[in-house]
Amino acid sequence: MAAEDVTNLSLHGSVLDKLGLLVTSGDVAPGHVLRIEDLEVRFRVSRTVIREAIRVLESMGLVTSRRRVGVIVAPPSAWHVFDPRVIRWRLDGDDRPAQLRSLSQLRRGVEPAAAALAAAHATPEQCGRLVGAVMEMAVHGRSGDLEAYLTADIAFHRTLLEATGNEMMAALGDVVAEVLRGRTHHHLMPAHPNPEAIRWHAEVAQAVQARQAAAAEQAMREIVDEATHAMLTDQP
């Protein structure tokens, strides 16, 4: 890839993040008109870069464009709230506590049921990945390497959702991954992860492997409840 193309991609990503956060944080109210020429000056980039970012925001339902009017900020009811980037921007803004609460409620409604389904449908390979992820979590939890722990934690939850055999549950992997990233990157994770949480992950993996749906469901509920309590308690 040419150096100019890399620069344009970097600029596009930077402007997209700034505009996304501007809208999702409420700094610009629904109905507010964003003018392309003003955004060019504000972000010191070309009109092409601004238009590309606006197209992406439109695809997420954050804005709409009207000829001779401009770019209109859409209400939250129009946002594609499952888009991982929308989740990330909301977690980066003042809306973080409400977003964490919504995501935690979603996880409590989905992941215990997913664990029960996984106990019925997981393949041997998926069971092995669950066990491997737990082993990685235990190692990195003891050492305090939160980034490595996060990688293993995301792998565990993605695998569990895939193991349900339900494509709609599997599609929530990116949503759960953003919750886990947000907890780590916003310093809502202790320096050494809760050993009980790691034990519950192990119990889920063991129950899935043993085809024990009720035990898998209960252990996953413990995981989600512990994470919810820790994140919302640590909010300022």
pLDDT higher than 80, residue 2:
no
pLDDT digits (tens, 9 = 90+) for 202-234: 999 999 999 999 999 999 999 999 999 988 876
Confidence of residue 236 (pLDDT cuts 50, 70, 90): low
d(CA 138, CA 164): 24
d(CA 233, CA 236): 8
pLDDT digits (tens, 9 = 90+) for 134-180: 999 999 999 999 999 999 999 999 999 999 999 999 999 999 999 99
pLDDT digits (tens, 9 = 90+) for 18-77: 999 999 999 999 999 999 999 999 999 999 999 999 999 999 999 999 888 889 999 999
**Where is 218: in which H helix or E strand?**
helix 213-233
d(CA 106, CA 108): 5
pLDDT digits (tens, 9 = 90+) for 79-137: 999 999 999 999 999 889 899 999 999 999 999 999 999 999 999 999 999 999 999 99
Spell out the domains of the chain, with CATH numbers in brackets.
3-78 (1.10.10.10), 84-233 (1.20.120.530)
Crossing angle of helices 3-24 and 36-43, rounded to 10°: 110
DSSP-derived 3-state class of residue 84: helix
